[in-house]
C-alpha cells in the first residue's frame, strides 16, 4: 500500500465525514464539513501527482481513484439533495446529477469490459476537467450553506457568488460528462461491439 493509494482511500473516509458533519445539526459543523471536503478534493490531485512523479502508478490505484471519485460525488449529491441545498434550482441540479451519475455508471461498465480484455482505462482529460468542475460545484454549494448557517452576518454577495458559481459549474460539469461519455463510446467502441 503506497502513499497515493492511502490518499485515495482517505478521500472515501473524508467524504463520509463531510456528509456526517453536514447532516448533523450543530453550529460550525457546515464550516468544518467544507474544510474536510476541500482536503478530500486536494487528495484527488495529490494521489495522481505523487504516483506519476514517483513512478508508482498501480492498477489498484487507477481503479480505486476512479471509484473514490464516484463515491465522493454520489455521496455528496445525495447529501446536498437531502438538505435541499439547491433550493429553487433543485430540478436543474437533479437533472445534472442524473446525467452525471448515468455517465459514471456507463464508464464503469466500459472499464469492466476493458478489464476482461486485460485493458486498464485511466481517466481521460475531459473526464478530469469534468471532475474538477464537479468538485468545485459541490464545494461551492457546501461553502454557501456554511456561510449562511455559521456566519449569518456575512455579505450576501459572497453567498450568492458561491451558490450561483456552484450552479454554473454544475451545468458545465454535466456538459463535460456528456462529451466524456461520447469520447469513451467512440474510443472503446470495439469493446462495446463484442
Query: Residue range 36-49: average pLDDT?
Result: 88
Q: What share of the chain is helix, strand, coil (3-state, %, to 5)?
A: 85, 0, 15
> Which pLDDT tens digit goes with each residue over 50-98?
878 888 887 777 778 878 888 999 999 999 999 999 999 999 999 999 9
Question: Which grid cell sits at 106?
Answer: 456507463
Question: Which grid cell sits at 185?
Answer: 463510446
109 compared with 8, residue with greater pLDDT: 8
Task: Answer whether residue 194 shows pLDDT above 80.
Answer: no
Choices 1.20.1740, 1.10.287, 1.10.10, 1.20.120: CATH for 3-193: 1.20.120
Query: pTM for this one?
Result: 0.89
d(CA 156, CA 160): 6
* Confidence (pLDDT) at 55: 80
Amino acid at each position: 500500500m503506497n502513499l497515493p493509494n492511502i490518499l485515495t482511500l482517505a478521500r472515501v473516509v473524508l467524504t463520509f465525514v463531510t456528509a456526517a458533519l453536514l447532516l448533523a445539526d450543530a453550529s460550525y459543523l457546515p464550516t468544518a464539513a467544507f474544510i474536510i471536503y476541500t482536503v478530500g478534493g486536494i487528495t484527488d490531485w495529490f494521489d495522481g501527482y505523487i504516483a506519476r512523479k514517483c513512478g508508482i502508478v498501480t492498477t489498484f490505484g487507477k481503479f480505486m481513484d476512479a471509484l473514490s471519485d464516484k463515491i465522493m460525488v454520489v455521496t455528496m449529491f445525495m447529501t446536498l439533495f437531502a438538505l435541499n441545498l439547491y433550493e429553487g434550482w433543485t430540478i436543474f441540479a437533479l437533472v445534472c446529477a442524473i446525467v452525471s451519475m448515468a455517465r459514471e455508471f456507463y464508464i464503469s461498465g466500459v472499464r469492466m469490459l476493458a478489464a476482461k480484455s486485460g485493458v486498464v482505462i485511466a481517466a481521460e482529460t475531459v473526464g478530469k476537467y469534468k471532475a474538477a468542475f464537479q468538485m468545485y460545484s459541490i464545494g461551492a454549494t457546501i461553502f454557501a450553506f456554511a456561510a449562511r448557517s455559521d456566519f449569518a452576518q456575512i455579505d450576501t454577495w459572497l453567498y450568492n457568488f458561491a451558490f450561483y458559481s456552484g450552479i454554473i459549474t454544475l451545468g458545465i460539469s454535466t456538459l463535460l460528462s456528456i462529451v466524456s461519455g461520447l469520447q469513451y463510446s467512440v474510443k472503446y467502441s470495439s469493446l462495446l461491439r463484442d
